[in-house]
Amino acid sequence: MQQSNNISYIFLIIILLLVVIIGFMVYQLLLARKEKNEAKKSFYALERKVNDLQLETLEAKLNPHLFKNILNSIQSHAYQTYFALDKLANLLDYILYESKKKFVTAKEEIDFALNLIEINKIKISPLFELKIKTNIDKEDKLFEEPLLAPLISIDLIENAFKHADLQSPDAFISVIFEFKDNAFSMTVSNKISDKKMLKKERSGIGNTTLEQRLRIIYKNNFKLEKFIENDIYIAHLKINLLEYKTEMFTAG
């Protein structure tokens, strides 16, 4: 009987020890998970600060470059100064106020891009073929939600006017803006000369700046394609804003 009691007592002690050990392991696991979450939050906070600093540096390079191109366009065609200054006023409002925001709506960015195109039209002949098209699903709720980085459309538009073969009889520039299925996209294409095709291989600050901004802000939620096909340079940008918004909420 005594032996049976001793066995029961030992068995009870073993069970208690197992409970204590399991409880300690669970506590350590929960503590480790908490520390991991805190470290993750600290990492994201630090990453945001670094990204903000990088974006400020990139934008400091971007805006003076834009102003120089705009003013050169206006100066070269004085007879259109009134029209150009009206469009420039709209651009300045956007650059001085809206671009300081972290995000703007797709509607605001597209309106800005259309004004920028009007300014650049001064450089070209009235007979030059300039095709502008918008395909917008205005019922899409994200169209007027601030999720798009301001000035994201500048580089592709400026490059098209800079590198287009303006003298060729079949020259053209085409700009298409789309917003559907919760995604913003723009496609810019232009006819280029053989001489300018060679220069394209040496990308300037604009291309680098755009890719850096997209990578910092949208990570894997964008696609930027640039290629030459039959003497036509094509650049296509698509940003999946729904996926980006979902990741923003998940990251906190």
User: Is residue 119 assigned to a domain?
Assistant: yes
User: Is residue 53 assigned to a domain?
Assistant: yes
- The better pLDDT of the pair 3, 98 is held by 98
Distance of CA 189 to the CA centre of its chain: 19
Domain count across the chain: 1
Task: Indicate if the pLDDT at residue 135 is higher than 80.
Answer: yes
Q: What is the pTM of this model?
A: 0.67
User: Is residue 102 assigned to a domain?
Assistant: yes
CA distance linking residue 133 with residue 110, whole number of Å = 11
- Could you tell me the residue range of the domain that residue 122 belongs to? 40-251
- What single letter denotes the amino acid at residue 189? S
Q: Which of 92-101, 161-170, 178-187 has the highest mean pLDDT?
A: 178-187
- 178 Cβ partners below 8 Å, 6+ apart? 134, 135, 136, 184, 185, 186, 187
Share of the chain above pLDDT 70, in %: 61
**What are the tens digits of pLDDT across the range 11-70?**
566 666 666 677 667 676 777 677 666 656 655 554 565 566 555 555 555 565 666 666
Q: Which two tokens stand for residue 68?
A: 């120089």
pLDDT band at 165 (very low <50, low <70, confident <90, very high): confident
Which pLDDT value is given to residue 59? 59
Which pLDDT value is given to residue 202? 44
- Average pLDDT for residues 228-239, to the nearest whole number? 92
**What are the tens digits of pLDDT across the range 166-180?**
777 888 999 999 999
User: Is residue 26 assigned to a domain?
Assistant: no
Task: Indicate if the pLDDT at residue 235 is higher than 50.
Answer: yes
User: Is residue 66 assigned to a domain?
Assistant: yes
